[in-house]
Each structure stands twice: as C-alpha cells, then as structure tokens.
C-alpha cells in the first residue's frame, strides 16, 4: 500500500524470483488485481467465511465468464459509418448485446461461442479500423462472486 510503481514492480519481481528459485508454500493476500494476476497460480475466494472458489487462476474465467467484450474502433468517415443510423453501427441481436455505441466505437457483449461470428459480422460491415476481443476481467468475476456467489 502506498508504494510507487517502481517499488511495486521490484517487490513483485523479488517474490516471483524467490518463488521460482526456492519453491516455498506462500500465501498472498491482496486486493490488488495486478499482484494476484502476476504472482498467483491458485486462487481462493472466501465470502462470509465460506469458500466461493478454490482453483487455478487461469480457470476462473473459463468457469464463470460466459461472454467476451468486442470493441470495434470505427472510421467515422467511412460509408459504412455514415450510412448507419445517426452514425451508429448495429449488430444482429442474436450475436450479442450492445454495451455502448457511438460513431467512433461499438462495444458488444458476446457469448463466448459466438465471438468468431460476431467479429466476422462487425468486420464485414466495413469501416472497422481496429477490433479488440477481451475476456471479462478477473476483478469483475471476483467482484461478482463476492457479491452474488455466481457471476452471470
């Protein structure tokens, strides 16, 4: 808490090096997601004294995240952008839920198994400068587990 970025990185690097060299059993308690994601292989989440999750950090997304976020950066001067309603791009409702839509960017929540189809639909619509496909953040999953017990 209260460490500058250089000190944070130095401490993380030390812990990683020590862990790789000595192979100790270590318990890290942290609310800093960067610490958790860089230092931990196994994650235990406790809510109200009950174990909510105990498993590999790499598996929590697969288990609890049912969707990904597609973000398309749009060329506002392209014919595709100009021809869409009010400069806003649409996507078939069957492919995902629009999180936000402006003339410059379209953000869509898409079921994991529909990502290739949704990405293809966005790209075929034209005027896409960049397309980013993101997992739901581990922090969002943990927050949802702590709040609800089972993320949506």
Tokens of 144: 């949802």
| Biggest CA-to-CA distance, the chain | 61
Burial class (CB in 10 A: 0-12, 13-18, 19+), 69: middle
pLDDT, mean of each 10-residue run, the chain (152 residues): 87 94 90 88 91 93 91 80 51 84 91 94 89 92 82 52
* pLDDT at residue 149, rounded to an integer: 62
Cα 125 to chain centroid, rounded? 25
Half-sphere exposure of 95 (CA within 13 A, CB side): 16
């Amino acid at each position: 808490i209260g460490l500058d970025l250089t000190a944070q990185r130095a401490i993380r690097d030390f812990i990683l090096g020590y862990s790789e060299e000595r192979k100790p059993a270590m318990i890290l308690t942290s609310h800093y997601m960067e610490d958790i994601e860089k230092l931990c292989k196994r994650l235990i989440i406790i809510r109200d004294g009950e174990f909510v999750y105990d498993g590999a950090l790499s598996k929590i997304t697969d288990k609890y995240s049912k969707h990904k976020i597609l973000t398309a950066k749009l060329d506002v001067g392209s014919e595709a952008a100009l021809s869409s309603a009010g400069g806003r791009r649409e996507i078939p409702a069957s492919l995902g839920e629009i999180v936000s839509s402006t003339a410059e960017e379209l953000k869509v929540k898409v079921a994991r198994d529909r990502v290739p189809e949704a990405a293809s639909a966005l790209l075929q619509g034209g005027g896409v400068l960049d397309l980013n496909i993101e997992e739901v953040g581990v922090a969002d999953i943990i927050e949802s587990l702590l709040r609800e017990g089972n993320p949506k």
